[in-house]
Structure formats: structure tokens, C-alpha cells
Chains A and B, each alone.
Chain A
Amino acid sequence: MAEMTIADAPAPAPAAGGIMRRLNVVTGLLAGLVLAGIGWAISHATLQNGTYGSDQVTCITLVCWLVGFLAGIGAFVGPVRWLAGKDLTEDERLFLAGKDQGVGRYFRFTTDHKVVGIQYLVVGMALFFVGGMLAMMIRTDLLTPGSKLFGLQTYNSVVGLHGIIMIIATIVMVTGPFGNFIMPLMIGARGEAFPRLNALSFWLLVSVVPVLLSAAFLGGIPTGWSAYAPLADQAPPGQDAFLITIIGFAVSVALTGANLTTTAVTMRTRGLTWSRTPIFVFGVVGSAVLGLVAFPMFMSSQIFQGLDRTVGTSFYNAAGGGSVWLYQNLFWLMGHPEVYVILLPAFAAVLELTPVFCRKPLFSFRGAIVGMAGIMGLSLLVWAHHMYVSGWAPDLNGSFMLTTEMISVPTGLLILVIIGTVWRGRVWTRLPMLAVYAMLWNFVIGGITGVYLSDVPVDEAMHGSLFVTAHFHYTLMGGALTGAIAALTYWFPKMTGRMLNEKWASIGFWTAQVGFQVTFLSMFAIGLAGLPRRVGDYPPQFATGNAVATYGAYVIMIGMLIYAGALITSWIYGVPAPASPWGGKTLEWQVPTPVPLDNFEVLPVITSDFYGYGENGAGPPAVPPGRREPAEPPEPVEEPVGAQSAASQPEGSAQ
């Protein structure tokens, strides 16, 4: 096998790292392209003329790319060496962790959780950029009646690509960067439980991105991201690219989930009992566990789809004894838990930073955990509310309505935790905290409109309309993405070693928020008035609403670009950040910035939780000594937070 020969190639250089020293994203690209070329040549020569020829060739070529890329970047070196009885040496392990490698380690199969976190952050932002531009194409096409910008077939593909890219981006947007970078620090660990799986999960994500984008050149995915059968069975080979993407991404999610869960369960430092563990850890683990349950459903739905397309099975083909409802059930068994896979860590990040900016303990830590657990449990039992009008099981609609409406109770509990924490707090109005307010606004709207949709008779009118589109954008974009922006703004100094230019970031953030309201409130209106979603053209009665939505979308784009510009320039030119700019008590703020390779010189021992604001003597020494002594004068002289650590910062930061 090709990957074996690459991985097994003898490494003459005695330098630490061995073969890994020679492998990086370029060798990955080369190996992937070479193996894909070989796979294409062989499969094209032997299979192309069969009934399912083009689909078989596409699938084989793309799988060869994935295997080749991962082999070329060194994903299989560890296992192969282990099988050969020559496990990695300590030097090689340190090399793999990116020791003393500078920027190059971001382009290798690096196992350090902090490197993986940054990698996820960058790739996630790139995905948001592509997905956002696709959204702009959609809105521009819908600016006036008549599909003018591009044809309807392209329109459908753009809608599908926008959907799946944004789904992937939102799934990784909190767990990827902050789950990987911050969570191990938070629990006082030196790394993650399975460092190589960590790197594998990231590079698997990277390797499926070109597969997904290749769909655009293989006829597109004219099915939307839900890829309902049998429409997907009619679709061109772009659909094969879609299903290979999903299968690869599901593996990536599973690896991340297993890794983060094991890390949080087994690697918490001494004294960090569950009742002292920061709430963000619970959110990440909850999301990871939910993903472990949900994504195999998506994966199997796409494997069956692939079999239907490439070897002529009839899982979803009614004429052959299959059922379209089988696909819909598998898809939504993933589809609804997935919403909470996205929401939980974003919500948890918000719960984590709200006490810091309000200088108050989390209001009802247990309530927050009960809320998350309730959401996790119920989210597995609500999937068929997406199928009220499918005709699958009308008799079950009542019970799915019950579970769906019940989920508003634990969700409401999380809202109470935020509100209770803000209550009589010292609300420090920096951007992370203000983003919490924006999220609260959006999420309340998203939640209430979700209640309408949970009602079976109302859903009979609303299902499949733009009202639904507006609803889930309010929850996933207005809620989860805004929460992720809060998290990014909060942890940016720790992760990049630079302070964010808050003025420009705020201008961009609020511009995008205003545009967001304009776009999606008008989308609610035209949805209520009866415009279906995913249409490339519409009757003139919906012209005004669509035009307003499009102009709002442009405002979102401008705001997001300003925010991204502030982020990038701050990352490169920003003021070096102190170790703890916000005065947070959790452990990630107690380590120097940039974080050393081993995170902690001495592993901390925990004696209380991290929310002891206002409680004399409680909590670990969270802020530099001398600050916030119990008996403070009413008007103390304010000294810069973390002044001491700031002074000791080296000039070069992580970036």
C-alpha cells in the first residue's frame, strides 16, 4: 500500500524526529495527489463504463486522496512503527509535539494540543469565510425576483455547500480551538489523552475540505446539505464528494470526542473534583459525548447512500424495497443532537466568562449542569419533529411535540444561570461580555420561534419555509456563533499572546449584529407569509422582504470582515498580552503567555472551585498577588492586571 511505503521509508538522518522531520502538509498534498491519481487511473480504466462507473471512480479517487494525504503528512507513522516493534523514541515524541519548531509546527502532524487548537481556529475561520461568501452569493441571487446571478442548478449547489460548510465550521468552532487549546489547561493537564489522535482529527478535517470543495467541480450538490434521498440519488458525482466528506468528518468528530472526553475524565489535576471543574469543561464533554452518539447516524446514512449510488443497493429506493424515511430518520437522529453539539460548548463558554466579567460566582453551578444534562438527554429524543409532515409516523407526532417542548425547560435554566450571574454583578462591559448580551437577545428570539415550530399544527404551516431558516440562524448564528465570538475574544490573548484591538473588533461585531437582525427578522416575515426555503426564485409579493434580507446580509459581511481584520492585525501587530488580562480565576490564566510546551512547571493542586468571587479567601490565587485583598478600601488605586507577568513577557508571542 502506498501509505505504508511512504511511512516506512527509512530515515537516514539521525536527527530527532526521524521520518516525521521530512513530512508536512506539502508531502501530504503530494502523496494525496499521487495516490488519488493512481486511484483515478486504475478505477477509470476498469470501472468507468459500468452502470455506476462515474460514482465508483469518484469515490475511489477521493478515498485515495484522503488516505494519501494522511499518509503523506505522517498520520500513520506512529501505528506503523508500533506494529514494526520500533515505537517512537522520546526525542521523536518531543519533535511530534512541536518542540522548538517555530511556525513550521502548524504545518505538520503536530500533537501539542495548543498547536491543534490554533490550527482549528485558523481552519474554522477559513471555513466561515468560504461559507459566508456562499451566503452572500445566495442573498445576491435573491436580491430581486428571477434567478439572475447564476442558474438554478448552481443556486441549489451553492445553498448545499453553504449549509454543509457552515455546519462543519460551527461544529468545530468552539470544541476545536478552545476545547483543544484551553480545556487541558483548565483541568491542569500537560496535554491530551491521545495526542496523535488529536493531530489526526485535525488533519482529517483538513483533508476533507478539498473533497467537499471538489463537489463544486463534479456537478455540485444540488440537494441542500440535508441530501434527502432519492433526490441525492439523482445528483451528479458531486454528491459522492459530499458523502465522502461526511464520512471523513464523522470520523474526525469521533476522534476529537473520544480524545476530549477521555482527557477530561482521566487527566484532571489533583483536587479538581467534578464539582470544582469549570463549567466550560462540562460543555465541551457534553458536546463531545453527544457527537459520539449522533455522528455515526450521519455516517451510516451516507454509507448507505454511497452504496445506493455505487453498487446499486436500495436502502432508500422505494422501487427496490427501500424507504425515504430510513434516510430521514438517520439524518435527523444526527441532525437534532448536532444542534446541541454546536450550542452546548458555545453556551458553556459564555457561562465560563460571565462570572469573570461580572465578578460573581456562577449562579447555580448545579443548575447549569442539570440544564446541560437535560438538553443532552432530551436532544436524543426529539429528532422526528423534523418529520412531522413527512408522513412517517403521524401517531408519534404528539410524543415528539412533548419532548421538543420539554427541551425548553433545561434551556431556560441555562438562560437563568446567565441572568442570575449578571444580577447585581460588576458588569465589566468589554467585548466578550457584551457579546454575551447579544447572544442573549438572539437566543431568546431563536428559542421562542422554535416553540412555534415544535407545535405540530403550526409546523404544518411553517415547515420547509424561510421561517425555519430564520429560526435556526437565530439559534446557531445569533446564539452559538455569537457565543463563539465571545469565547474567541475572551481567550484570544491567551491563545495568540496578543491583545485584540477591541475598538475595531467591537465596530465589526456590532455592525454584523445589526445586519443579522435586519436579515433574519425579514426572513421570519417572508417565511410566515409563505415563502419556502431553498428556492432560487420567488413571486413578486416577497420582493421587499428578500431585498431587505439581502441588504442586511451585506451589512453582516462588512461587520464580519471588520472583525476578522481586527483579529488578524491584532494577531500580527497587537500589544503583547499579559498572562491574565481579565483577572479570571481558572487555571489557563495562571500559566504564562505564551503557554510553555508542558503547560505547567508544577501541576497545580486544587482546593476549591474557580468561581469564588466575593468570597473571602476562597478560590485559588487567581489574580496576581496584591490584587483584590479581602479588605479593600472603597476606592482603591487601580493597578494594571497582570502587570508583573506582562513585564516578563518575551517579545515574540506564539504567533
Chain B
Amino acid sequence: MSDPTTVTPPPVPPASPDPRESRDRNPVGPIVLLWAGLTIVLELFAIFVPARVMGVAASTNMADIKRAVTVFSIAAAPVAALVWSIALYSLLRWRHRGPEPPTQDGPPIRGNTAVQTVWLLVSGGLCLFLLVWGLAAMQATASTASNPLVVDVTGQQWLWTFSYPAAGGVSSNVLYLPVNRPVAFDVTSEDVVHSFWIVQMGIKIDANPGEVTHIGVTPDRRGTFAVRCAELCGIYHAYMQTQVRVVSDAAFRSWLRSGGGRVTSAATHGTPQPAGARASALGGLELRRGNG
């Protein structure tokens, strides 16, 4: 980022109503000023806005993601500002109005090796920075903690069922998790592809029929957060959501002992039948012709 104070504005030629004369003065100084100004505005936006819009983080995953979004925004701001400030300056200073084409051609610049090299190096460097940042974050996520709480997640049209194998198959349609304990989700689907998304924990993994996928998280904030389906899964996709309640370890244990939550199965699930869909006798939409 350039410091605007170091920039000496170029000598301004005598005021001329003809833009064609002012066109030829050195454009670098004013563009750097524009760039610096625009960069400051965009940086303020980058620092304060995106992470705030993303809401509270209920896990270190989400905190990392919010930080990544902020850092990427900070890195991108000068690039966007550079492109836009050159564009803006060219519109203000170099424009030719009117119904007729300009009578003079511009300078025949067919390239500039230095500029192109620097541009490639900088964009390559930014790219490398993003890659390293992303790989490091992935590494941190991948290092699984020992002794996680295993939760089996099953998606079906259009509800989630969570069961706790270690607690003898206690299951629930609302996800209960103890705070600050690593959780390992084993996710599958009974019908179509769903996507298991705990919005404020920044984790998402598809629930596929016939496969089990895995994802882990450590909730670090008590409260109630949203679980949503992030893959179009049929008519009630919009309503395939539930809650995750992150509670103290003691509260979690007593909830488990009480036998968990009331489980809604597909048979008792109260969603009305879609008119055009091919519903099976169970009420859920199954593959209309499973060969298995």
C-alpha cells in the first residue's frame, strides 16, 4: 500500500479547457493518490464489514474462516483499488466525448515488459500467499483430536436425525453437543444428497446415500445455532433445518441419560405431501426404484 504523503503531485500545467492538453501530463502521481484513497476505503470495509456480517463464531473453525475472509479482503483491496483507480482516472482525464472518434491516436504502447513482469510476480505471490494460508488452515482442521464424541448424522427428506452410538443409540432431531469437546460427525443420507451445515461453526459436509462422510468440530460457545441443509434436496429443502444446542458437559450428560430428544421418523413426520412428487408408502420420498 502506498503512502499518500510521499507522493509529490506533478506540476499542474496552466488550466486549459481542452482535456487533450491535460491528457499528456504525468498520470502516475494522481493515480497513486486515487489508489491510496480508494485502498483506505476498501481496507476499512474489509476489516469491519464481512466478518461482522458472518455473525458469531461458535467454533475455532468459524473464527478461522472469519479471519481468512478478513485477511483475503485486506489483501484484495489494493488490487481492486489499483484497477479501479486507473479506470476512474482514465475516464476523468483521458476521455474523448462526442459523436466522432478521437482525431489523434494514443501512444503506440504494445506492452511493457517490466509492468507485465511485476504484475505476474505480484499476482503469483498473492496466489501463493492464499494457497499457503489455506493449506495451513486445512492442516489445523485435519488434525483430529483424540477421544472425540461421535455423532451419527442421517439426512432424509426433509429432516436430520442425530444419534450417539456411545450412548447406546440415543437419538434426536435436535443436535445436542457439549461445549469444548471435539465432535466427529459421521454423515450419511437415506435418499438424495443433502448437505449438513452448522452455520455458526463453519462446517459443512454432504450427506450422500450409500456413503459415510466425516467432519469434525469443537464447539466453543454455548447457545443455540442453526443446522441447515445446503444442497437442494426436493420440495421442502428450505425447511430442512434444525437446531444445535451447545450446553455444558453436565447438562449434556443428563440429557443423554434422559434418553435424548423425541425422534421424529419419516413415518410420523408432519410435512404435507408434495403434489407432484412420487411419495412412497413411508411418507418420505425414497428412490422410486431402488434396485438393491
Contact = CB atoms under 8 A, between A and B. Distances in A.
Interface string B94-118: 1111001111111111111001100
B211 A318 contact: yes
B91 to A, nearest CB: 7
A455 B192 contact: no
A638 to B, nearest CB: 5
A440 B83 contact: yes
A364 B96 contact: no
Contacts of B123: 408-409, 412-413
Interface in A107-165: 147, 151-153, 156
A78 interface: no
Given A364-B110, A420-B112, A460-B202, A153 B277 contact: yes
A638 B96 CA distance: 13
A412 B119 contact: yes
A412 B124 CA distance: 10
B27 interface: yes
B159 interface: no
Interface in B182-206: 187, 191-193, 195, 197, 199-200, 202-206
Given A425-B94, A464-B195, A390 B206 contact: yes
Given A444-B84, A534-B232, A460 B65 contact: yes
A582 B101 contact: yes
Interface stretch (A183-191, A217-225, A598-606): A217-225
Contacts of B112: 363-364, 420
A528 B288 contact: no
B100 A528 contact: no
B41 interface: no
A319 B137 CA distance: 36
A318 B210 CA distance: 5
Contacts of B209: 230, 318-319, 324
Interface in A377-411: 389-391, 397-398, 401-402, 405-406, 408-409
Interface in A422-453: 422-429, 437, 440-441, 444-445, 448, 451-452
Nearest to B108: A614
A458 B106 contact: no
Interface of B: 23, 27, 50, 53-55, 61-62, 64-65, 68-69, 72-73, 76, 79-80, 83-84, 86-87, 90-91, 94-97, 100-112, 115-116, 119-120, 123-124, 126-127, 130-131, 133-135, 137-138, 141, 187, 191-193, 195, 197, 199-200, 202-206, 208-211, 213-214, 226, 228-239, 274-278, 285, 287-292
A313 to B, nearest CB: 9
Contacts of B50: 528
A237 to B, nearest CB: 10
A413 B117 CA distance: 10
A291 interface: no
A448 B108 contact: no
A227 to B, nearest CB: 10
